[in-house]
Structure 1
Amino acid sequence: MRRTARLVTGTALAVAAAGLAAAPAYGADTGGLEVYPSTVVPGGDVTVNTAACGVGGTGAGDASAVGAGQFTLAPSAHEEDVIGQFRVPPGAQPGTYEIVAKCPGGRTVTGDLVVTLTSTREQVHPRGYVKTGVGGALGPDPVQTAAGVAALAVAAAGGTWLLHRRARGDGI
């Protein structure tokens, strides 16, 4: 039994070590196409960049899958990247689309763009008061709010008075 356990454990460790050795180091350039933002609504602007075309290189981008057509990749100020932009057509349907960039040396890189109908970039925060019928400090009628506060104060004072009477033994 021990021999089988050692064999299984040794095999698992060897597989894990081989997997780690084959994995790329953190921060290593994989030569892919970076798409920002990766999720966009129809009519939104998209920026793509890659280091696959080399220092000072150029490239040709293709966003025909989403209906945006061709765009140019030009050298950027960010290290060895080339950068390009396109606008997603307002009539684009939701889904995942492949964006392609071709470098002069024949290298082709791709990246995914997700088109949604709801924006994830801007969050809408609630404002104002809740219409529960109870009123509130930020409600539309300060007179009703003041009346509610006065009623609570009277109830608290009455409760305190009754508790003092009971503690003294006067009864209720």
Structure 2
Amino acid sequence: MRGTTRLLTGSALAVAAAGLVTAPAYGDDTGGLRLSPSSVVPGGEVAVDTAACPDGAGVAGDASAVGAGDFSLVPGTAEQDASGRFRVPPSAQPGTYEIAATCAEGGRRVSGDLVVTLTAPREQVHPRGSVKTGVGGALGGDPVQTAAGVSALAVAAAGGTWLLHRRARGDGI
């Protein structure tokens, strides 16, 4: 038993150590361009931000794929973020478009995908009210029908009890 426990513990430690060795050396995602919203209708505005450029200075955006042309990204609230906005032209066709930004220092290019749709994304609708299942309830509906149903159940229960009692005594049915 101890051999099995040691074997399993040793295997678990080896897997954990391998995971630590292969973990990335950085903790944040600096590789892309974030678009909000990522799906937009023609004429809508899109916010863009990235942490890929050092100090967020000198970032040029390119939304010419969707027909919006160039836009600039300025240093944001965080020290390393750059953010900007552009408007999708009303004439834009549905599809997926690559939006890019290029850092002035080093020339690093980052990109993200923008989806143009003809319908605006729907907000989630939460159901309200009751569901018409046909089962009914004791508090709803006609009180006369409710009383008749309760009476029928009481008669059936009393009759079943009487029949079981006669059978147990041996009187027959």
**TM-score scaled by length of structure 2:** 0.62
Q: Structure 1, residues 51-77: CA drift from partner, whole Å, max 9, x if none? A: 233215032222232233332211011
- Give the Å deviation of 1:164: 1.9
Residues paired across the two proteins, number: 147
Gaps of 5+ in 2: 1-17
Structure 2: how far apart are the matches of 1:87 and 1:155? 69
- Supply the distance in 2 between the matched residues of 1:145 and 1:82 (Cα, whole angstroms): 66
Please name the residue that 1:156 is paired with: 153
| Counterpart in the other structure of 2:39 | 39
State whether structure 2 residue 99 is matched by structure 1 residue 102: no
1:66 aligned counterpart, secondary structure: coil
**What is the distance in 2 between the residues matched to 1:67 and 1:136?**
58
Distance 1:160 1:54, change over 3 A: same
Gaps of at least 5 residues in structure 1 are 1-16
Aligned AA (1:51): A
1:167 aligns with 2:168: no
Q: AA paired with 1:158? A: V
Is the CA contact 1:39–1:114 (under 8 Å) kept in the aligned structure 2? yes
The one-letter amino acid paired with 1:125 is: H
Query: For the residues of structure 1 that align with 2:39 and 2:66, how far apart are their CA atoms?
Result: 13
Percent identity between the aligned chains? Answer: 56
Q: Is the 8 A contact 1:135 1:145 kept in 2?
A: no
Question: Where do residues 116-135 of structure 1 align in structure 2 (5 Å cutoff)?
Answer: 116=117, 117=119, 119=121, 122-131=123-132, 134=134
Say whether residues 1:88 and 2:88 are aligned partners. Answer: yes
The 8 Å contact of residues 31 and 52 in structure 2, kept in 1 or not, is answered as yes
Superposition TM-score, scaled by structure 1 size: 0.63
Cα distance in 2 for residues equivalent to 1:147 and 1:92: 64
CA radius of gyration, larger in = 2
Seen in structure 2, the aligned counterparts of structure 1 residues 163 and 49 have a Cα distance that, compared at 3 Å, is same
Task: State the alpha-carbon separation in 2 of the partners of residues 43 and 152 from structure 1.
Answer: 61
Deviates more, 1:50-59 or 1:69-78: 50-59
Judged with a 3 Å threshold, the aligned counterparts in structure 2 of structure 1 residues 71 and 150 are, in CA distance, closer, same or farther, namely farther
SS state at 2:65 partner:
helix
Question: What's the Cα RMSD here?
Answer: 3.5
Partner Cα distance (1:56, 1:147) in 2: 75
C-alpha spacing 1:111/1:130, structure 2 compared with 1 (3 Å): same
- Mapped contact 1:99–1:113 kept (Cα < 8 A): yes
